[in-house]
Amino acid sequence: MSEKLQKVLARAGKGSRREIEKFIEANRVSVDGKVARLGDRVEPNQSIRLDGHTVKIEEPEERICRVLMYHKPEGELCTRKDPEGRPTVFDRLMRLDDDRWIAVGRLDVNTSGLLLFTNDGELANRLMHPKYEVEREYAVRVFGEVTTQTLKTLTTGVELEDGPAKFLKIKPHGGEGINKWFNVILTEGRNREVRRLWQSQDVEVSRLIRVRYGDLELGKRMPQGGWEELNLTEVNYLRKLVDLGRETETKLSVIPEKRKDKRAKISRIRKAVKKHKQRTPVKKRT
């Protein structure tokens, strides 16, 4: 049975569907020696190449779906490689044999917090798609006058350059003077949407941290630059959110962690973060 080309490549871990569509438009993909076009469908026995390299096509059940939770620091780019040599969110992640991590959405360079990665392109695509309305929660520090009317406007809806947008909820979290903290919730991940919503009310965001994705919360003890792999229950929670079937296998131990094991794991993560900082050269400014 034929399938859409971008779906097959996403399942093979070559990127999200949106990324792959860009690859196709840039004539980087071929099928049986012919340059592919958007909308092409492929059969299991056809030869697919990306940038001249043969892509190993897998049936859906062949891959074990894996997901990482990463605590992104400010200053890292959500790209695989940066021409200027700046740090990226992929630099610290463990490498996969014959596979690769796909970022679920993006956080801009000045935003920190929870970022998910998966080797399953279909899962990544659905988690990013606004159709599934997966909640994202951010802690945000703003600078400016915030009135009751401001909050009402932001939850009712404002018109941005790429269409209407709003927060589902806004929860005050203290602060002094015109520097205040709020937790905001929305169900889509448009570029810089949280910042642009506040800017529409003449309020500037001075700090932005993603603290929750769906029901998955960023652990308070997870250091910036640290990551951990989600267990089978957590992976299946994400898959159920976007109407994908359950996974039955995991690369992790299925034995429940004891408290001392959890403490030891956090200690290992902190050591790994420190080691990475020590071996990463500081780029000199010119």
Q: How far apart are CA 190 and CA 231, in angstroms?
A: 28
Q: How far apart are CA 270 and CA 262, in angstroms?
A: 12
108 in catalytic set: yes
Helix/strand/coil (H/E/C) assignment for every residue in 70-136: EEECCCCECCCCCCCCCCECCCCCCCCCCCCCEEECCCCCCCEEEEEEECCHHHHHHHHCHHHCCCE
Q: For residue 161, give the nearest of 112, 211, 210, 199 by alpha carbon.
A: 199
Neighbours of 46 (CB within 10 A): 14
Letter string b/e over residues 78-90, b meaning 16 or more CB atoms within 10 A of that residue's CB: beeeeeeeebbbb
Give the angle 51-55-57 at the CA atoms, nearest 5°.
155
Neighbours of 124 (CB within 10 A): 27
Residue 238, amino acid: L
- Do 151 and 198 form a contact (C-beta atoms < 8 A)? no
- Do 216 and 118 form a contact (C-beta atoms < 8 A)? no
Q: For residue 203, give the nearest of 155, 164, 147, 136 by alpha carbon.
A: 147
Check 32, 51, 108, 162 and give the catalytic one: 108
Phi-psi domain of 33 (left: phi exceeds 0; alpha: psi -120 through 50; beta: other)? left
Q: For residue 184, give the nearest of 207, 162, 161, 163 by alpha carbon.
A: 207
| Active site (catalytic) residues | 108
